[in-house]
Structure 1
Amino acid sequence: MYDLAAFSAWIEFAVRWLHVITAIAWIGSSFYFIALDLGLHRDRNLASGAGGEEWQVHGGGFYHVQKYLVAPAQMPDDLVWFKWESYSTWLSGFALLVLVYYLGAEFYLVDPAVADLAVWQAVAISLGSLGFGWIAYDRICKSRFGNDSTRLMLLLYVILVGMAYFYTSVFSGRAALLHLGAFTATIMSANVFFIIMPNQRIVVADLKAGRVPDAKYGRIAKQRSTHNNYLTLPVIFLMLSNHYPLAFASEANWIIASLVFLMGVTIRHYFNAMHARQGSKHWTWLATTLIFIAIIWLSTAPMFRAAEPQEAQGAALRFAQAEGFDQVHDIVLGRCSMCHAAEPAWDGLLWPPKGVRLETEHQIAMAARQIYLQAGLTHAMPPANLSYMRAEERAQIVAWYRAATAN
């Protein structure tokens, strides 16, 4: 039993590592080519017939990069295709989704307080929503409505907001934001697999056959690539959000997720404009900062008070002697310590999550801030509220922490 559980944990770690590596490769190449395309000098008559060029220096060497509007007179035999970065990122991400959220649905996917779903129902909703996202997006892009890029982007944003609300209505907060990221990443990877790569193959085949390629294939691929460019940063935020309960466990988590997409637009607009030599759009940083401040406020709005609790600076004794500690001690022992123990009593756990032990008064006092954030200010813990922590118990945790940090 121990070997199987330990092996499963290492498999999850390996898949997560692979996912991060491939995502870095995909995002890196995507950002590079966007910056390259925007920064090309297109006002030069090049002997090669290329439509733009740029000189770059990196790693002690100089690179002369040229872009052909259609293709060179003769196609090279060693043409490099950028595709496996995208495919590997999605496949490893989906594998991680299965390992963590499908096989661990009781912990991470289903929250009876949100929607009392059977595991198979939650998994079916997850899979169905990912498929729905791509089909709906693709059909809208291919419709006449998609001919206007600005109008299309506005509608896509409305859809993302709707999906954020939907996910937070059926899954745990942690799973909701993760799924919104997977929903978006599925669209991005499908853009590469179903649109960008096939269109490029058509163009290459036409050139090799001596035909003039239809310009629409390049235009469509460019549109999808632009969408991917603006969606990348929000996806990264959503994938990281499961480590930060103030993002996923807030009552306003779907609004927070919606605002993150706006930050992705403002940040990418700054860099895109800079690479295109259109000057520094400093207003984008102000907009991003204001949006982020709004996110911070929303994460604590339900429990906002005029004087926010200050960071605990005293020793654990201060929390142990604070009013309400005896009640909180009993709450933590009853709701948390079955997992956060040297030998967890919960099936499948071999060690306390993140090494946090909550068995003694000293341990509980030392973990005051984590308890406050994870189980008081937000509902991140217990996961899916498996130990049925009541609202009044969470309120007692909040009152205890604030009493200890009031002075």
Structure 2
Amino acid sequence: METYLLDWANLLLRWLHVIVAIAWIGSSFYFVFLDSSLTPPEDEQLKKDGVSGELWAVHGGGFYHPVKFAVSPPKLPENLHWFYWESYSTWLSGFALFLISYLWSPSVYLIDPKVFVWSPGAAVAGALAFLVVFWLLYDAICRTLGQSKHGDAKVGALVLVLVCVAAWLATHLFAGRAAFLLMGAMIATAMSANVFFWIIPGQRTVVADLKAGRPVDPI
């Protein structure tokens, strides 16, 4: 019975994970396109309101006119959509899938005696440590070097080194398929943690400042 339930959970979570991941990455790609396609506003009122860019588009028989405020709009709308559940649902469904597919049976899916011999509990703890430690190191790199001269290049180079070291460790500790899946889970955890610990709190600070009438810090 347990195997039957796990198979169904695996199937449903796999589909859920794929769908919400498409929503997350798709919306991210859309905003990348939007930012790269914006043109300076032509309307004087938009300029006075602080609009930094606009885009006219046609899709599905309708015309759309999104505008971007560089720092903050002159007035906060009542209905404001927050883009974070795309990220959270992707990570939660992915972790749940990782849990029932690998962590639930570590002796079968995580451990390969030909690669490394350790107990099921230690293997599970090691897999979880990959997710947590990578995020902590990645975050530390961004904090210390992100705002320095050529910060993007430094962060990119060090994160590349960090991923390579993690990949080497994973392939020397875990079964082959688990090692590479763990790498994807590790990077995805850092992506979603960025949203949870940095992006959304920063946006909440902006909204709170707007509601309180305080000047908004773009940083």
Alignment TM-score > 0.5, same fold: yes
Alpha-carbon distance in 2 for matches of 1:157, 1:43: 39
- Counterpart for residue 172 of structure 2: 169
Aligned to 1:132: 133
Distance 2:91 2:181 in 1: 13
Read off the aligned partner of 2:40 and give its amino acid letter.
Answer: R
Instruction: Tell me the amino acid that sits aligned with residue 178 of structure 1.
Output: L
CA 1:142–1:107: 2 relative to 1, 3 Å = same
1:44 offset after TM fit, Å? 3.9
Q: Which residue of 1 aligns with 2:185?
A: 182
Query: Where in structure 1 do 4 or more consecutive aligned residues deviate above 3 Å?
Result: 43-46
Q: CA deviation at 1:45?
A: 5.2
1:41 aligns with 2:39: yes
Deviations 1:213-264 (Å, cap 9, x if unpaired)? 1121xxxxxxxxxxxxxxxxxxxxxxxxxxxxxxxxxxxxxxxxxxxxxxxx
Residue 37 of structure 2 aligns with an amino acid whose one-letter code is: G
By relative contact order (CA 8 Å, sep 6+), the higher-ranking structure is 2
Match of 1:73 in 2: 74
Structure 1 gaps of 5+ residues are: 217-407
Give the structure 2 partner of residue 282 of structure 1.
none
- State the SS of the aligned residue for 1:51: strand
1:314-368 deviation digits (Å, cap 9, x = unpaired): xxxxxxxxxxxxxxxxxxxxxxxxxxxxxxxxxxxxxxxxxxxxxxxxxxxxxxx
Which one of 206, 216, 219 corresponds to residue 213 of structure 1? Answer: 216
Superposed CA RMSD in Å reads 1.2
Measure the CA separation in 2 of the matches of 1:45 and 1:109.
Answer: 60
Aligned 1:269-288 pairs, distance under 5 A: none
Deviations 1:60-93 (A, max 9, x none): 1110010001122110000000000100010111
- Give the equivalent residue in structure 1 for 2:113: 112
Q: Give the fraction of aligned pairs with identical amino acids, expressed as a percent.
A: 49
Q: CA deviation at 1:199?
A: 0.2
In 2, the alpha carbon distance for the partners of 1:43 and 1:70 equals 15
Give the match for residue 22 of structure 2. Answer: 24
Query: Take 1:46 and 1:74, find their aligned partners in 2: how far apart are those partners?
Result: 17
Q: Secondary structure at the match of 1:47?
A: helix
User: CA distance change for structure 1 residues 173 and 209 in 2, over 3 Å: closer, same or farther?
Assistant: same
- 1: CA distance, partners of 2:140 / 2:92: 23
Once the two structures are superposed, residues 257-299 of structure 1 have per-residue CA deviations (whole angstroms, 9 ceiling, x without a partner) of xxxxxxxxxxxxxxxxxxxxxxxxxxxxxxxxxxxxxxxxxxx
Counterparts of 1:323-338 in structure 2, within 5 Å, are none
Amino acid at match of 1:158: V
TM-score, length-scaled by structure 2 = 0.93
Distance 2:170 2:208 in 1: 42
Query: What amino acid does structure 2 have at the position aligned with 1:151?
Result: K
Number of aligned positions between the proteins: 213
Aligned match of 1:198: 201
Considering only CA atoms, is the larger Rg found in Structure 1 or Structure 2? Answer: 1
Which residue in 2 is equivalent to 1:53?
54
Structure 1 residue matching 2:146: 3-state secondary structure:
helix
Contact 1:114 1:170 (C-alpha < 8 Å) held by counterparts: yes
Q: Name the aligned partner's letter for residue 54 of structure 1.
A: L
Stretches of structure 2 that go unaligned for 5 or more consecutive residues are: none
> TM-score, with normalisation over the residues of structure 1?
0.51
1:118-159 alpha-carbon deviations (Å, 9 max, x no partner) = 11111000111111111111111111x222111111111111
What is the alpha-carbon distance in structure 1 between the residues aligned to residue 180 and residue 186 of structure 2? 10
Match of 1:246 in 2: none
CA–CA distance in structure 2, aligned partners of residues 43 and 71 of structure 1: 16
> Which amino acid in structure 1 is aligned with residue 104 of structure 2?
L
- Equivalence for 2:155: 152
Give the letter aligned to residue 78 of structure 1. Answer: N
TM superposition shift of 1:174: 0.3
> Which one is further off, 6-15 or 79-88?
6-15
SS in 1 for 2:55: strand
Cα distance in 2 for partners of 1:107, 1:4 equals 16
Give the distance between the partners of 1:208 and 1:137, measured in 2 at CA: 33
Q: How does 1:298-377 map to 2 (within 5 A)?
A: none
Question: In structure 2, what residue type is equivalent to 1:211?
Answer: R
Contact 1:44 1:52 survives alignment (8 Å): no
**How far has the Cα of 1:210 moved from its partner?**
1.1
Q: CA–CA distance in 2 between the matches of 1:35 and 1:69?
A: 16
1:133-189 Cα shifts (integer Å, max 9, x gaps): 11111111111x222111111111111111111110100110111000000000000
- The DSSP-based 3-state class of the residue aligned with 1:113 is coil
